[in-house]
Structure 1
Amino acid sequence: MRSDFQHVLVNFEANVLTITMNRPAVLNAFNALMIQEMTEIVEAAAQDESIRCIVLTGAGRAFGAGQDLSAFADKPATNHAQATQEHLGAYHRLVNSILQLPQPSIAAIHGVATGVSLNIALACDLRVAAEDARLSEAFARIGLVPDGGGAYFLTRLLGAGKALELALLADEISGKEAERIGLVTSCVPLAGLEEAVRMLATRLAHGPTQTYGLIKKLFQQAQDKDLAAVLQLESKYQSMAIETADHREGVQAFMQKRPPKYSGK
């Protein structure tokens, strides 16, 4: 994977790929190039078996301030429908690429996480927020509906009522409140965010990576199916998991009363 990106930093260490949105002067607000670069990185990571966990974060004092609205300031007010579809299509590709990663993913959230930046964090499997985090579905403040999958992720994480409340009122919530309602996995002091995320990513990177991927598929597909269909899916994915080297290692480690050493295969 190349590393000469203009608006994104990448760091690979101990099987963990850290992707850092890097436009700190504008609180990591998205422009077209940053969307493109992030999508390229995530899609490449999905094909790299050496990567066993992905962390997404932002440079400077924020996770991300959503879309950089200055990018639209000089565009003519014509053909809005086509322009909107093309613009959102780039976000949709990025969101889908994160959601479909075969490896577990973590969003490390500090400072502002608003609009589409928040919804991209929601596409990750786990979210760790700092106590200074300020999360908001801010779209209604400028007369827009949530995009980047916001309605999909919020309703599934919080239920329809709370999701609609966040979308309609567009209020900021703290990292602690986000933890309380289940929007993030945990909330930690800002000074401890990097270490908390590192420990969680290391734990996942040493786990049964292929099985994690199957668990993700099972849970994503189970959301809109009845019990009979979910039971069929679990049989399908369990049959695949039982053939992995990590399953065999897990059983052997259990029998030998030792910690397992998973290879991710």
Structure 2
Amino acid sequence: MEPVLVERHDAVATVTINRPERRNSLNTVVKEALRDALADVAADSGVRAVVLTGAGEHFCAGQDLKEHADGLGGGAASAFTTVADHYAPIVRSLATMPKPVVAAVEGNCVGAGLGFALACDLRVIAADATLATAFSSIGLTCDSGLSYTLPRAVGEARARRLVLLAEPFTSAQALAWGIDHDVSDPGVTLVAATRLAERLAAGPTAAYAETKLLLAETWSRDLDAALAAEGAAQTRAGSTDDHANAVTAFLSKERPVFAGR
């Protein structure tokens, strides 16, 4: 069974973590396959939006602790090379690829799984899903970008509580805190996320890419730097056929068609 499935339909690629018998927990085979699959869809000019999901009833239960325990036998230095080799590239790809990514979250979304979901641009979460940081419950701290994405999603004070106490939270709480785009009925998050991805794929994807870059770098800039970055990005977006055609369509009272260039 393939550890990660990639299905392309029109301009949307669906990437599925495919280890349902272990709640899509992450062993080395899965992590390598996911890293490589995301790199492929990021580079594929025919893909204009991406959906990330898990096979079966769960999104991702985080690191496979059995494999991790075996790895600790060789010492922590070797066991934790996975952070740089796998988790960081996966999160970086999700957060920075020049196209929108939507997470379809069912069941458990824990640890690195939560980090992956938060690295996506939008999330559709099942009403009965369970989310948690989990790291401190096994004596660890954040990885998979959670120290970066979680405070930005829920605020620093709540992020401290969620990480330090490792308390699970619900999709309703996630919605109230601003983590997810929508809450769906269980079993249909992939359908809802795919519809959202199709809507995004039909949009101005070149402008989306500029937006992702601006938002990713905004916390490292002061106001003047942010204004300058916006000016440069706006000039690049304004030079696209998408912008010119959309202005013409607006003036003609027509619906614009975006080509992503």
Q: Same fold (TM over 0.5)?
A: yes
Pairwise CA RMSD of aligned residues? 1.3
Q: Does 1:12 align with 2:8?
A: yes
Residue 220 of structure 2: SS of its match in structure 1?
A: coil
Residue 127 (structure 2) pairs with residue 131 (structure 1): yes
Cα distance in 2 for residues equivalent to 1:189 and 1:137: 23
Deviation of the 1:191 alpha carbon: 4.3
Q: Which of 172, 177, 180 matches 1:181?
A: 177
One-letter amino acid of the counterpart of residue 26, structure 1: R
Correspondence 1:149 to 2:145 = yes
- SS of the equivalent of 1:74 reads helix
Q: Which residue pairs with 2:39 in the alignment?
A: 43
**1:39: Cα distance to partner?**
1.1
What residue in structure 2 maps to residue 102 of structure 1?
Answer: 98
Query: Is the Cα contact below 8 Å between 2:52 and 2:101 reproduced in 1?
Result: yes
2-side partners of 1:78 and 1:192: how far apart?
A: 42
Structure 1: stretches of 5+ with no match in the other structure: none
| Identity score, percent | 38
Give the corresponding residue for 2:226: 230
Q: Which residue of 2 aligns with 1:120?
A: 116
1:255 aligns with 251
Q: Given the superposition, is the C-alpha separation of residues 94 and 194 from structure 1 closer, same or farther in structure 2, using an over 3 Å criterion? A: closer
CA–CA distance in structure 2, aligned partners of residues 164 and 61 of structure 1: 29
Change (3 A) 1:76 1:136: closer
- d(CA) in 2 for partners of 1:193, 1:83: 34
1:48 positional shift: 1.1
CA shift at 1:172, angstroms? 1.2
Give CA-to-partner distance per residue, 1:50-69, whole Å, 9 cap, x none: 10000000001100100001
Tell me if 1:56 matches 2:48: no
SS of the aligned residue for 1:194 comes to: helix
User: TM-score of the superposition, structure 1-length normalised?
Assistant: 0.95
Aligned: 1:87 with 2:82: yes
Q: Secondary structure at the match of 2:206?
A: helix
Q: Quick check: 2:68–2:79 contact (8 Å CA) kept in 1?
A: no
TM-score (norm 2): 0.96
Deviation larger for 11-20 or 39-48: 39-48
User: How far apart in 1 are the matches of 2:75 and 2:23?
Assistant: 29
Q: Deviations over 1:99-148 (max 9, x none)?
A: 11100000010100001111011110111101011000011111111211
The aligned counterpart of 1:25 is 21
2:30 to 7, 31, 34: 34
Separation in structure 1 between the aligned mates of residue 194 and residue 78 of structure 2, nearest angstrom: 42
Shift of 1:75: 3.6
Alpha-carbon offset, residue 82 of structure 1: 4.2
Superimposed CA distance per residue, residues 159-215 of structure 1 (whole angstroms, 9 cap, x where no aligned partner): 110100110111111111111111112111124423321221111000011110001
Say whether the 8 Å CA contact 2:52–2:104 is kept in structure 1: yes
Structure 2 CA distance for partners of 1:235 and 1:20, relative to 1, 3 Å: same
CA positional deviation for 1:221 = 1.2
Quick one: distance in 2 between partners of 1:38 and 1:212? Answer: 23
Deviation, structure 1 residue 78 = 4.3
CA distance in 2, matches of 1:75, 1:215: 40
Say which SS state the counterpart of residue 223 (structure 1) adopts. Answer: helix
Residue aligning to 1:167:
163
Counterpart-to-counterpart distance in 1, 2:222 and 2:229: 11
Secondary structure of 1:65's aligned partner: coil
Tell me which amino acid in the other structure corresponds to 1:124. Answer: C
Partners of 1:75 and 1:159 in 2: CA distance? 34
Bigger mean CA deviation after superposition, 59-68 or 182-191: 182-191
